[in-house]
Structure 1
Amino acid sequence: MSHPPSRNRSLAWIPILLAALVLPVTALAAHAAVPPTPSGWSLVWSDDFNGSAGSPPSSGNWIVDTGHSYPGGPANWGTGEIQRYTDSPSNLSLDGGGNLRITPLKSGNEWTSARIETRRSDFKPAAGRILRIEGRIQMPNVTGNAALGYWPAFWALGAPYRGNYQNWPAIGEFDIMENVNGINSVWGVLHCGVNPGGACNESTGLGASRACPGASCQSAFHTYRFEWDRSVAPNQLRWYVDGQLFHSLSQSRFDATTWNNMTGHQGYFLLLNVAMGGAFPNALGGQTPTAATVSGRPMLVDYVAVWQSGSGSTPGPTPTVTPTGNPGGVDARSTIQAERYQAQSGTVVETTTDTGGGQNVGAIGNGDWLRFDNVRFGATAATQFKARVASGAPAGVSGLVQVRLGSPTAAPIGDFAVAGTGGWQSWRTVPANITPVTGTHTVYVTFSSGQPADFVNLNWFSFGN
């Protein structure tokens, strides 16, 4: 699939960048806890990266991306970066001192590194509130020719990108912190609209940059913050480093369609990565990395936190994504297509070869789920559930397909076991008895396995008597 570089950067900032002075001061402490929640705010989500040295980041909080692309997504992650992402502790691990390390490494002619993204994909301010996304980060401590090709980033993508990979930049991208080639500068960028051109001047985006206050970006930790302000009209987007505002954009700058496409979905997921090479570092340093580029300089992340202004309940701790915009509401006895969920955790949507064509939900493993809103069972109780499933899992890998009402952690009302069916597109229909159900419910199809590997694909399901 062809896809434009999703994070090219404007060369118009180079004069500002080259004029920035590096002011050496004593580096800040390497580890600090997530700051106390300010008065008038509530903590939505955070990770302090506490844990033993060499251990991975929390699997409950983060998805680890691997390889050179999403399955079916643009090559080289759409940016031209050359590294292969891995889940190896040498590339991705806690340091035992309260920090996450993402370390690019070169072995022979290959570079490896790491990229993670939050399981939650619903980060969005409620109406009348401000959402604050913040991370305390030290960029890789390398400069000059030795840094050519280094591309650390802390950013957010609109949730509908998951499983689609063709809807960028319309779904929105907030680059909270980016840096290339060891330059003492932080970039903040918005991507939106259409590519090329459009309201966000793609594929460059709308951005600004500045030197890190005090100590250089590479020699010390700094706090990088993005705010989405829905408490004012028009809404505002703001970028900060160490509490100092350096970039802002107003809703009034954008047409209604562009603004709605990037803000009207249910929210964003957050990403941390260190790429090597690609469009942005190449634009400022020629073809990168080079023979002079050194290996093994990590980005350190002390914490990532999300706050919301105002009182009241905060968004729940569930990752969600609605790629179809489907508002829900379906007859329980109809054929309910799996990809028509209203929310999900841990899965992807892919083309199916099953009868009738279309799409199925895949990459399903232990703990994943799909949510379907307003499923109407009616006054006559449904007592059976059946689902169209396929599995290419190896021998010994199996799991349960479960039905729950109201919550992904509610007691199952029914389930069935599935193991290898002969291939990920070798489909069969499996029935199961369920506790009788009437009325209208939020239905969760959940997946449980004793192994971490993916074990099933789901095409459709239905309820009956």
Structure 2
Amino acid sequence: MLAAALPLTLALAGFVGLTGTGTAQGAVPPAPGWTLQWSDDFDGADRALPSSANWQTDTGHGYPGGPGNWGTGEIQNYTASPDNLSLDGNGNLRITPLRDGAGNWTSGRIETRRSDFKAPAGGTLRIESRIQMPNVTGAAASGYWPAFWALGSPYRGNYWNWPGIGEFDIMENVNGLNSVWGVLHCGVNPGGPCNETTGIGASRACPGASCQSAFHTYRFEWDRSLTPNELRWYVDDQLFHTVRQNQMDAASWSNMTDHAGYFILLNVAIGGAFPDALGGPTPTAATVPGRPMLVDYVAVWTRGGGSNPTDPPPTGSSTLYARPGAGLGDSTGSAASVTLASAGGANYDGTPNNPQVFTSSGITRTYNGGSTQFDLFVDAGTNIGNGPQVRVSYDRTGDGVWDRTETYQYFATDPLPGYEHYTQAKGLKSSTGSHGNLVNGKVRIEVWNAIGGGAGTLGVGNQSVVRIPFN
């Protein structure tokens, strides 16, 4: 199977055994034996945008500082316009590629705010969606590239660590062919254990009705209950692709799986390496715009195991969420926000000023030699020049003395509404003290606006997360 010729193809697969004929099925269906961790059934008014608590919208031709054309050679401009991205009023998300009179293409792409979807230790993760691909075939479909997929969380804020952090292409399709591709990307590019940039993939025709003419359910499973671990792809409950842990070296598998988890994406690209490889330069003059991909729901379940996707990963890096009410612990499972006070035009770089403070105590863990990581959801609204900043402090024995304090460079927000990701990639500004084992210890994070003249917002609940280097 051929995928993108540059970093980033497409992701994950789902199932519920329903094939439908183009109408929405309402709520997420039950999955006996599984525990629902997260879902969106896209209920809402026609032309409403998808939930901003669940999704963030990608715009333009690439991530800031990342590879051009999203790393795949696709040509469309992603927008937040309801013409390209909206609910349809019938329980579906609608992503519609359009072409203007000058021949320029636009479309839509969203990704989950959560980036911690992971198989529990000894258990299984299941990600699925019920989707009707754009209902267009033949020459009119040249260049269409719909996808449902997932990327490893370390990609956020870096954009150059693909494919080592992992990519699960659950459903991708090109040029209106009656086929679903499931692909794993990993290791190094080019070559490596996943044969990049192609990836390890398989494809098959959709069961019964074609992929384009009806809804089908695409499911991906990451199974850690088996030895070796398995990754599996399904369409309408029919298994069509499996990758096992022993198909690659231990380091590549670990780099792909031993991080906080994955975030999920939905998009319809136009043109790029994959459709070009199967149909020549795309799109063409015959390509017809305006044929949407419809998504009935996206859901994430787990089964078995001794922990859930928000528990510490096997490497021992404890995952702590900023919670409403100043706590720091497990995800609440729902999104909320708190206000970051304005810096009032002053400069508080490195010095907390009216910070939001989150604390966790009674922690007994062994230092693993690593470093602090974080992913804070920050938004300055339409304010210009804000700079949220974070300080992370460790009290190793709970005696009130902060034995290790780390202050990170502030993050310059943009003046566009919508959360951005402030991560440790901004760099450490200063630190004091040293790490050591926690014995009934405490962890504290403080977030404030270091510069700027307006207030901001910090996402909490199931959003902003700090990963501390302790087993």
Q: Do both proteins adopt the same fold according to a TM-score greater than 0.5, normalized to the shorter chain?
A: yes
Aligned equivalent of 1:89: 82
User: Once the 2 structures are TM-superposed, how far is the Cα of residue 109 of structure 1 from its aligned partner?
Assistant: 2.0
Alignment partner of 1:161 is 2:155: yes
Q: Which amino acid aligns with 2:7?
A: S
CA displacement 1:15-62 (0-9 Å, x = unmatched) = xxxxxxxxxx97253333201131x32111111111111111111111
Secondary structure (helix, strand or coil) at the match of 1:252 reads helix
User: C-alpha distance in 2, partners of 1:58/1:32?
Assistant: 16
Secondary structure (helix, strand or coil) at the match of 1:195 reads coil
Give the one of 351, 374, 379 matched to 1:343.
Answer: 374
Give the one of 118, 125, 132 matched to 1:138.
Answer: 132
After TM superposition, the structure 1 = structure 2 runs for residues 2-13 of structure 1, keeping only pairs within 5 Å, are 5-7=6-8
Give the one of 175, 178, 183 matched to 1:189.
Answer: 183
Alignment partner of 1:275 is 2:254: no
Alignment partner of 1:119 is 2:120: no
Give the one of 285, 291, 297 matched to 1:303.
Answer: 297
Secondary structure (helix, strand or coil) at the match of 2:246 reads helix
Aligned equivalent of 1:353: none
Task: Answer yes or no: is the 8 Å Cα contact 1:373–1:443 preserved in 2.
Answer: yes
User: Can you give the 5+ residue segments of structure 2 that lack an aligned partner in the other structure?
Assistant: 11-18, 321-349, 352-370, 418-425, 431-439, 460-471
The alpha-carbon distance between structure 1 residues 91 and 386, as it changes in their structure 2 partners (threshold 3 A), is same
User: Can you give the 5+ residue segments of structure 1 that lack an aligned partner in the other structure?
Assistant: 10-24, 330-334, 349-362, 398-424, 430-438, 455-465
Percent of residue pairs identical: 62
TM-score (norm 2): 0.70
Give the one of 207, 222, 230 matched to 1:213.
Answer: 207
User: Once the 2 structures are TM-superposed, how far is the Cα of residue 166 of structure 1 from its aligned partner?
Assistant: 1.4
The alpha-carbon distance between structure 1 residues 343 and 388, as it changes in their structure 2 partners (threshold 3 A), is closer
Aligned equivalent of 1:45: 38
Aligned equivalent of 2:399: 379
User: C-alpha distance in 2, partners of 1:154/1:304?
Assistant: 10
Q: Which amino acid aligns with 2:226?
A: V
For these two proteins, the number of residue pairs brought into alignment is: 370
User: C-alpha distance in 2, partners of 1:364/1:236?
Assistant: 46
Secondary structure (helix, strand or coil) at the match of 1:271 reads strand
TM-score (norm 1): 0.71
Task: Supply the RMSD in Å over aligned alpha carbons.
Answer: 3.9
Task: Answer yes or no: is the 8 Å Cα contact 1:57–1:100 preserved in 2.
Answer: yes
After TM superposition, the structure 1 = structure 2 runs for residues 345-364 of structure 1, keeping only pairs within 5 Å, are 345-346=376-377
Task: Answer yes or no: is the 8 Å Cα contact 1:161–1:171 preserved in 2.
Answer: yes
User: Once the 2 structures are TM-superposed, how far is the Cα of residue 167 of structure 1 from its aligned partner?
Assistant: 0.9
After TM superposition, the structure 1 = structure 2 runs for residues 53-68 of structure 1, keeping only pairs within 5 Å, are 53-68=46-61
User: Once the 2 structures are TM-superposed, how far is the Cα of residue 150 of structure 1 from its aligned partner?
Assistant: 0.4
Task: Answer yes or no: is the 8 Å Cα contact 1:124–1:131 preserved in 2.
Answer: yes
Secondary structure (helix, strand or coil) at the match of 1:58 reads coil
User: C-alpha distance in 1, partners of 2:391/2:301?
Assistant: 25
Task: Answer yes or no: is the 8 Å Cα contact 1:365–1:447 preserved in 2.
Answer: no
User: C-alpha distance in 1, partners of 2:211/2:390?
Assistant: 41
User: Once the 2 structures are TM-superposed, how far is the Cα of residue 265 of structure 1 from its aligned partner?
Assistant: 0.8
After TM superposition, the structure 1 = structure 2 runs for residues 302-321 of structure 1, keeping only pairs within 5 Å, are 302-310=296-304, 314-316=308-310
Alignment partner of 1:242 is 2:236: yes
User: Once the 2 structures are TM-superposed, how far is the Cα of residue 342 of structure 1 from its aligned partner?
Assistant: 2.5
User: C-alpha distance in 1, partners of 2:408/2:263?
Assistant: 30
Task: Answer yes or no: is the 8 Å Cα contact 2:180–2:203 preserved in 1.
Answer: yes
